Amino acid sequence: MNTMKIQIITLFPEMFEGVLNSSMLWKAQDRGLVEFSVIDLRQFGLGPRNQVDDPPYGGGDGMVLMVEPLSKAIAHAKAQDETAKVYLPTPRGKTFKQSDAKRVAASEEGLIIVCPRYEGYDERIIDWVDEQYSIGNYVLTGGEIPAMVLLDSVTRLIPGVLGGEESAEKESFQQDDVSIEHPQYTRPEDFNGKKVPSVLLSGNHARIEQWKDENSR
C-alpha cells in the first residue's frame, strides 16, 4: 500500500489543524493512505526576526513573500520526498477542476503545496513550482484555503478513502463543467408537506435509475 505524502508550507499552520484532523482526511491518515505534514514558513525566514516578506520593487500596496525563505522551505520539503510535485495556488493559475483532482490522485506522487500570503510572492519562485492553479475568479487572503481545496479533493479520490469504491465515480463534475449529480433525499418522507419523490420509495430499481438520470445534468 502506497502512502501519499502531502506537505503544506504556510505561515499559519494552525489553520490546518481542524481540517486535517476531521472526517475523511483524518480517516485517510488513520488508514495510512496519506500522510500530511505542515511546515511553518517562518522557520526559513531571514535574520534575527525571521523575515519572510518585503515591499515589492516598483512600488505598490502591501508586502510580497521573498524568494529565499520560500525556496528554502521547498528544498526542505523535497528532502523528505524528492519526487513530490510542487503546487502554487495563485489567481494567475489555470482553474483547478475535478479532472485535475483525479489526475493528481492517480499519479500517486507526493504533493508540496506552498501557501502565499499578503500581496503574493516573488515571481522567481516559479522555477521551483510544477503547477500553478486557481480555485476561481475571486481573491482570497492567502493560499491556505486553496491548499485545503486541493488536498481535500485529491485525498478523497485515493482508493480506500471513501467508503463505497464507486461513490466518487457517480459524483458531480465527472466531465468538469457539466454533469451534476441528481438531488438526494433522506428521512422523513414528508417534511411539512414537502414529499420525497414517490419513485425513490417504489423499490423499482429500473425506474429509480431512470429518475436519477433524468434529474442529473
Q: Report the C-alpha gap between 115 and 18 in whole angstroms.
A: 17
Residue from the set 45, 69, 89, 110 that interacts with ligand SAM by CB under 6 A: 89
Q: How far apart are CA 150 and CA 172, in angstroms?
A: 16
* Of residues 13 and 208, the one with the C-beta less far from ligand SAM: 13
Toward ligand SAM, which CB reaches closer, 45 or 143? Answer: 143
Nearer to ligand SAM, 7 or 29 (CB): 7
> Could you tell me the smallest distance in angstroms from the CB atom of residue 150 to ligand SAM?
9
Number of residues that bind ligand SAM (CB under 6 A): 18
Site for ligand SAM in 133-172 (CB under 6 A): 134-136, 138-143, 146
Q: Work out whether 91 is an interface residue with ligand SAM (CB under 6 A).
A: yes
DSSP for 132-167, written as a single string: EEESSSS--SSSHHHHHHHHHHHHTTSTTSSSSTTG
CA distances from 43 to 47, 57, 58, 68, 174 (A): 11, 24, 28, 12, 40
- Phi and psi, residue 197, nearest 5°: -50, 130
Question: Taking the complex as a whole, how short is the minimal distance between the CB of residue 53 and ligand SAM, in angstroms?
Answer: 11
| Residue 59 interacting with ligand SAM (CB under 6 A) | no
The contact set with ligand SAM (CB under 6 A) reads 89-91, 116-117, 119-121, 134-136, 138-143, 146
